[in-house]
Chain A
Amino acid sequence: MIEIENLTKRYGAFTAVDDISFTARPGRVTGFLGPNGAGKSTAMRMMCGLTPATSGSARILGRPYAALPNPTRHVGVMLDASAQHAGRTGREVLTLAAILVGAGRGQVDATLERVGLTSREAERRVGNYSLGMRQRLGLGAALVGDPRVLILDEPANGLDPGGIHWMRGLLRDYARDGGTVLLSSHLLSEVEIIADDLVLIGRGRIVAQGTKEELLSAAGVVVDATDRAALRAAVEQSGLEHTPRPDGTLAVAAQTAEVGELALRHGLVLTSLGSSGGGLEEMFLTLTSDDAREVAA
């Protein structure tokens, strides 16, 4: 359980994180989504007490991070997979983490296996690791204390599609066992695969949050029919907001059931009807594009 209340960070006149509040719940994977520079990493560093907050609070398992006894036993943290000494072997990095949580050598081996690093890879120096391998190692270091909460900054960065799929499996199982996962990403496609709940952030502010399903349905549906002109006329008549899409289908700001009833009333044959699937992408772009542009400017 991670509870963020009115968390704010200002650097002089610049507000990096602007009054954000959300809760990451046990049993769920919460995706913290936003363009680069939106304030995700700053917020996560504040959660872990590395960056002092200007105002507001972040509590993990009911208390501030710094008040946790031996924090990494309760909270697994990976804020930057590349922040490792290039001269240490992967096994040594895990061993150091294991000593601090009081885990034994067996746990190091088990964790290496859990994150998919072979013992040969573990003997190599981190300087020779690919980003994907560093992510696996960082995730392993976060997991070695068997924590109840995971805070991961861009964990899927540098993973290939197979790796992302693997990470989804691992984090879902972890959440199903009652763990809380908060992970950030600037790529919607990653988060869409892994997360249950979404918190969208742009320019330091939360622009949307909810379950993935809620946000998906809020993004509307995409519908197609054998008679496209009739479909369009029917939708226009109903007064629902809609936009034709380049492929000839129609995006409608409504629930699937509403559109289905509409089709029934007008005797239309629908060839497809669904939440705008990749439409979360559109929502992500809409919600963050203004912010993203201004950040880039």
Chain B
Amino acid sequence: MTGPTSHTQAPTTTPGPLDDQDGTMTGTTSTTTHPDGTRGADGGPADASRGGGRTAYRRDGEAPELTGGALPFSRLLRTELRKTVDTRAGRWLLIVIVALTALAMGLVMWFGRENGADYSTLLLTAVLPQGVLLPVLGILTAASEWSQRTALVTFTQEPRRLRVMTAKSLAALLLGLAVVAVTIGLAVLAHLASAGLAGGDVDLSLPGHIYGGIVVLQLAYVLMGVAFGALFLNVPLAIAAFFVLPVLMNVVSMTVGWVQDRAAWIDQNVASLPLTTLDAAPTGEQWAQFGATSVWWVLLPLALGLWRVARREVK
């Protein structure tokens, strides 16, 4: 090995030689040393991977060893979560979702001011606007990088594009879950307030399948948003398709007899109804119908979208 040089990891505040070594390199045979003990004072396992790309060239011209591990999925997920809320578009979308939820509950409270608004009515009313807006979150997550051209940066940071898309999907699902949790909290508060004002009874009992139904339904919609975003890779187009296609589906199922007879197996709007019906939990057949429509409307576009993302030239 000749001419050991060192490349300090900490960016200095003034551009300049980072070490007092001469920094000469002969050919390609050189060694870069890692100054030990410079890995950050908190040096836990996660921090051990810090410290930039340290490279050691071998004399025989083989690929140099690169220290540090692969990009941990947790970091990828963390950045994707952050990206959904660190832009005005993303933040406003979340604010609008919560605001509309509150508005919907406010209306229910107003109409139920005499006897107090039901907890179940409050909760299920809020599910409606969210089912419309949460998918937009998924669409933005999957498609906005292509509209904003930041895909150029993202897929340079992690060339395994499906891994990025997994992180994006998971990030959107986690945010969807958070919104559902906030909604349940708001519904409880609204019910307590409404019952208190009207002097009615506080009744927070709700069939367990409703909670499950809401979670499954909203997460399916979020994932459908991700799927449409990945399929079109264009935010306005994906949003338009997301809202127009189900309506078209509705029209078709009302006019074409063959489809109408099998609507529960084809139309997701029909198949999702039993999930939030108070009277009875969905039957096995109803779950199967919801599963089938999810294949057509969520998994199929998702697979096509992922295939597209994996193959597309990033410009």
User: Contact residues of A with B, CB < 8 Å?
Assistant: 1, 25-27, 45, 48-52, 59, 61-63, 65-66, 68-75, 77, 79-80, 82-88, 92, 95-97, 99-104, 107, 110-111, 113-114, 141, 143-149, 166, 169-170, 173-174, 176-179
CB distance from B167 to the nearest CB of A (A): 11
Q: Is B260 an interface residue (CB 8 A)?
A: no
Given A27-B23, A84-B150, A92-B86: A70 in contact with B13 (beta carbons within 8 A): no
User: Contact residues of B with A, CB < 8 Å?
Assistant: 5-19, 23-25, 28, 30, 32, 40, 46-47, 49-55, 57, 62-64, 66, 68-71, 75-76, 78-79, 82-83, 86-89, 144, 148-150, 152-153, 155-160, 313-315
The reply to whether A88 and B9 contact each other, CB–CB distance below 8 Å, is: no
Q: Chain A residue with minimal CB distance to B58?
A: A62
The reply to whether A107 and B10 contact each other, CB–CB distance below 8 Å, is: yes
The reply to whether A86 and B5 contact each other, CB–CB distance below 8 Å, is: no
The reply to whether B28 and A83 contact each other, CB–CB distance below 8 Å, is: no
Q: Chain B residue with minimal CB distance to A111?
A: B11
Q: Chain A residue with minimal CB distance to B31?
A: A178
Choose one: B15, B71, B86; the contact of A169 (CB below 8 Å). B15
What are the 10 tightest A-B residue pairs by CB atom distance, in nearest-first order?
A146-B52, A62-B63, A74-B53, A83-B149, A87-B87, A66-B159, A50-B314, A70-B71, A27-B25, A178-B5
The contact sample of 22 A-B pairs, CB cut-off 8 A, is A1-B64, A51-B314, A61-B63, A66-B160, A68-B66, A69-B69, A73-B53, A82-B149, A88-B86, A96-B79, A100-B71, A100-B76, A100-B157, A102-B47, A107-B10, A114-B12, A145-B53, A149-B53, A173-B17, A174-B15, A177-B7, A178-B23
Choose one: B17, B82, B156; the contact of A96 (CB below 8 Å). B82
The reply to whether B64 and A173 contact each other, CB–CB distance below 8 Å, is: no
The reply to whether B63 and A25 contact each other, CB–CB distance below 8 Å, is: no
Q: With the chains together, A59 CA to B66 CA distance in Å?
A: 14
Write out the residue numbers on chain A whose beta carbons fall within 8 Å of the beta carbon of B46: 102
The reply to whether B53 and A79 contact each other, CB–CB distance below 8 Å, is: no
The reply to whether A177 and B17 contact each other, CB–CB distance below 8 Å, is: yes
Write out the residue numbers on chain B whose beta carbons fall within 8 Å of the beta carbon of A96: 79, 82-83, 86
Given A1-B28, A62-B64: A77 in contact with B13 (beta carbons within 8 A): no
Q: With the chains together, A103 CA to B10 CA distance in Å?
A: 9
The reply to whether A99 and B75 contact each other, CB–CB distance below 8 Å, is: yes
Q: With the chains together, A172 CA to B298 CA distance in Å?
A: 52
Pick from A62, A95, A170 the residue with the most CB of B within 10 Å: A62
The reply to whether A176 and B17 contact each other, CB–CB distance below 8 Å, is: yes
The reply to whether B153 and A141 contact each other, CB–CB distance below 8 Å, is: yes
Choose one: A87, A101, A170; the contact of B15 (CB below 8 Å). A170
Given A66-B160, A176-B23: A73 in contact with B12 (beta carbons within 8 A): no
Q: With the chains together, A145 CA to B11 CA distance in Å?
A: 9
Choose one: B7, B24, B87, B155; the contact of A50 (CB below 8 Å). B155
Q: With the chains together, A62 CA to B9 CA distance in Å?
A: 21
Choose one: B15, B28, B71, B315; the contact of A114 (CB below 8 Å). B15
Q: With the chains together, A74 CA to B12 CA distance in Å?
A: 18
The reply to whether A99 and B28 contact each other, CB–CB distance below 8 Å, is: no
Q: With the chains together, A92 CA to B153 CA distance in Å?
A: 14
Write out the residue numbers on chain A whose beta carbons fall within 8 Å of the beta carbon of B76: 100
Q: With the chains together, A90 CA to B148 CA distance in Å?
A: 15
Pick from A74, A110, A141 the residue with the most CB of B within 10 Å: A74
The reply to whether B12 and A146 contact each other, CB–CB distance below 8 Å, is: no
Write out the residue numbers on chain B whose beta carbons fall within 8 Å of the beta carbon of A92: 86
Q: With the chains together, A179 CA to B54 CA distance in Å?
A: 11
